Amino acid sequence: MNIPFLNLQAEYYQHQEEIDEAIRRVLHSGRYILGQEVARFEEEFAAFCGTTHGVGVASGTDALLLALRALDVGPGDEVITVSHTAVATVAAIELSGARPLLVDVDPATCTLDPALLAAAITPRTRAVVPVHLYGQPADMAPILAIAQQHHLAVVEDCAQAHGASYQGRPVGSLGDVATFSFYPTKNLGAIGDGGIVVTNKAGIAGRLGLLRQYGWRERYVSALAGYNSRLDELQAAILRVRLRHLPAANDIRRRLAQAYHDQLADLPVQLPYERPGSRHVYHLYVVQSDRRDALAAHLAGQGIGTAVHYPVPVHVQPAYHRLGYDPGHLPVTEQLAGRILSLPLYPSMPAGHLETVVAAIRHFATGI
Ligand X SMILES: *Cc1c(COP(=O)(O)O)cnc(C)c1O
Question: What secondary structure letter does DSSP report for 184?
Answer: T
Q: Is there a contact between 137 and 164 (Cβ–Cβ < 8 Å)?
A: yes
Cβ closer to ligand X: 315 or 353? 315
Contact pick of 37, 157, 233, 334 for ligand X (by CB under 6 A): 157
| DSSP H or E segment with residue 82 | strand 78-82
For position 165 contacting ligand X by CB under 6 A, the verdict is: no
Cis amide linkage into residue 310, ω under 30° from 0: yes
Contact pick of 37, 51, 53, 59 for ligand X (by CB under 6 A): 59
User: What does 284-325 look like in DSSP terms, one character per residue?
Assistant: SEEEE-TTHHHHHHHHHHTTB--B-S-SS-GGGSGGGGGG-P
Closest CA relative to residue 100, chosen from 310, 317, 283? 317
- Select from 34-42, 81-89, 108-116, 285-293 the region that touches ligand X (CB under 6 A): 81-89
What distance in Å separates the CA atoms of residue 338 and residue 311, rounded to the nearest whole number? 7
For position 88 contacting ligand X by CB under 6 A, the verdict is: yes
Which 317-356 positions form the footprint of ligand X (CB under 6 A)? none
**How many residues of this chain bind ligand X (CB under 6 A)?**
15
What distance in Å separates the CA atoms of residue 205 and residue 187, rounded to the nearest whole number? 24
For position 89 contacting ligand X by CB under 6 A, the verdict is: yes
Closest CA relative to residue 196, chosen from 210, 213, 178? 178
For position 304 contacting ligand X by CB under 6 A, the verdict is: no
- Select from 17-25, 155-163, 241-249, 292-300 the region that touches ligand X (CB under 6 A): 155-163
CA-CA-CA-CA dihedral for 110, 114, 115, 118, to nearest 10: 140
Q: Is there a contact between 42 and 55 (Cβ–Cβ < 8 Å)?
A: yes
Q: Closest approach of Cβ 314 to ligand X, in Å?
A: 11
Contact pick of 111, 160, 213, 229 for ligand X (by CB under 6 A): 160
How many CB atoms sit inside 10 A of residue 99's CB?
17
CA-CA-CA-CA dihedral for 76, 114, 272, 306, to nearest 10: 10
For position 156 contacting ligand X by CB under 6 A, the verdict is: no
Look at the chain and count its residues.
368
- Select from 156-164, 207-215, 269-277, 312-320 the region that touches ligand X (CB under 6 A): 156-164
Q: Is there a contact between 85 and 131 (Cβ–Cβ < 8 Å)?
A: yes
- Select from 47-55, 154-162, 271-279, 313-321 the region that touches ligand X (CB under 6 A): 154-162
Q: Closest approach of Cβ 358 to ligand X, in Å?
A: 26
Which 120-139 positions form the footprint of ligand X (CB under 6 A)? 131
Contact pick of 60, 175, 189, 313 for ligand X (by CB under 6 A): 60
For position 86 contacting ligand X by CB under 6 A, the verdict is: yes
Which 245-274 positions form the footprint of ligand X (CB under 6 A)? none
What binding mask, one character per residue, do residues 176-195 give for ligand X by CB under 6 A, x or -?
Answer: -----x-x---------x-x
What distance in Å separates the CA atoms of residue 204 and residue 127, rounded to the nearest whole number? 15
For position 85 contacting ligand X by CB under 6 A, the verdict is: yes
- Select from 152-160, 214-222, 293-301, 337-345 the region that touches ligand X (CB under 6 A): 152-160
Closest CA relative to residue 205, chosen from 81, 32, 39? 39
Q: Closest approach of Cβ 92 to ligand X, in Å?
A: 7
Cβ closer to ligand X: 41 or 183? 183
Cβ closer to ligand X: 85 or 200? 85
CA-CA-CA-CA dihedral for 65, 71, 74, 76, to nearest 10: -140
For position 197 contacting ligand X by CB under 6 A, the verdict is: no
Q: Closest approach of Cβ 24 to ligand X, in Å?
A: 25
Q: Closest approach of Cβ 48 to ligand X, in Å?
A: 18
> Interface residues with ligand X (CB under 6 A)?
59-61, 85-86, 88-89, 131, 157, 159-160, 181, 183, 193, 195
